[in-house]
Amino acid sequence: MASLQESIEDVVAEFDLFTDWQEKYAHLIELGRSLPPMDPAFKNDQHRVRGCQSQVWLHVEAKEDRLHVEAESDALIVQGLIALLLSVYQDRSARELKDADLAFMERIGLLSHLSMNRTNGLQSMVQALRAHALAHVG
């Protein structure tokens, strides 16, 4: 498995291939469409991420010393944002996830192209990931 920094660099390089924001948004939507569907048993209020304009569900499960994340949204752009988060933070240790942030999304210029509501929702997703990680840090 690639290191956290290697995963971040891969995402930055991937988005550097696109020349304008329409291409980047189209790619983001495709990333979201490629996510496997979430187990419907977790699409409930207990797993709902508060602070998101659209519906977002997040389930984190410890597998050995890694945290496996399932997430889904009812909005295409948000589903793509989830795919980006998971491409960097999926199956990381709780210690790595407890320091999760959005710096890599700023590096690809995404944060400046999102509405305030979407940015707040994205922050809420990262905070939820961090909360799960903190609960698992020994």
Q: Which helix (H) or strand (E) holds 70?
A: strand 66-73
Could you say which DSSP state residue 40 is in? G
* Catalytic residue chosen out of the listed positions 52, 110, 128, 133: 52
Catalytic residue check, 112: no
Eight-state DSSP code of residue 63: E
CA gap 7, 12 in Å, rounded:
9
Q: Which helix (H) or strand (E) holds 88?
A: helix 76-89
* Residues assigned a catalytic role: 52
